[in-house]
Amino acid sequence: MQPTRKIALVTGGSRGIGAAVARRLARDGFDIWLNYATNETAALTVRSAIEQAGGRCALLKFDVADAGAVAAALTVRLENETPLVLVNNAGFRRDALLAMMKDEDWQAVINVTLNGFFNVTKTVLPAMIHRRAGRIINIASAAAHFGVAGQVNYSAAKAGLLGATRSLAAEVAKRGILVNAVSPGFTDTEMLAGLPLEQIKKQIPLGRLGTVEEIADTVAFLASPSAAYITGQTLQVNGGIGA
């Protein structure tokens, strides 16, 4: 039997956008399955914040790029519980000009962002299809829409995620599953460390960085009943870049 409480699985949920999404969905009444790969201290901090606010949070340690680890962590849980929402947020940058990019830096970024989406979604999707309900929300990036020197690997991975979003949405719409993406622009997280922030702000029409809470609010909208007629779409939350 399905549980009465709704569940959201958030990958890469220990820091930054993922942590904000987990906290926001917990506020909306979701029990959180919080995935993280290495930073247990940060994951525990997020869980503590959710529990102190009256929510529930289970920590799931696995590398989304490792299909075996994904299956080992999720298969048993999925026998009795089905997430209503899956947020594919896990990803990272490893910047370099393509001519000097190491093979492992290309592969690592693709593996986590794109193969991670595949591994986790393929594992969870059959349960959603059986339930005939679900929301899959993929966290992309402005780098998927606009060329960024030094980020060919990251841009390719995030652009691939957008293509996957559209195709999967077409595949599962009749099963009651909605698939969308959120593309953050420059957002105030540790991923911006070392970048010329004042120069970057001049390129943003709103003149400031985005906040993780603003991204989380957009995810929460797509996870809500208000977004019941939206699928296969990408919401760009970027302060007007490219407008």
How big is the CA angle at 216 (ends 40 and 148), to the nearest 5 degrees?
Answer: 90
C-beta of residue 33 within 8 angstroms of C-beta of residue 5 = no
| Annotated active-site residue in 154, 165, 186, 235 | 154
Q: Which residue has the tokens 């997280």?
A: 189
Whether residue 101 contacts residue 46, with contact meaning beta carbons closer than 8 Å, is answered with no
Q: Which tokens in the block code for residue 83? A: 């997430």
Based on the residue annotation, tell me whether 229 is a catalytic residue of this protein: no
The whole-angstrom separation of Cα 235 and Cα 45 is 29
The residues near 2 (Cβ < 8 Å, ≥ 6 apart) are 81, 82, 131
Rg (CA), the chain: 17
Q: What tokens appear for 122 in the block?
A: 């393929």
CA atoms lying within 13 Å on the CB side of residue 152: 11
CA–CA separation, 67 and 49 (whole Å):
30
As annotated, the active-site residues are 154
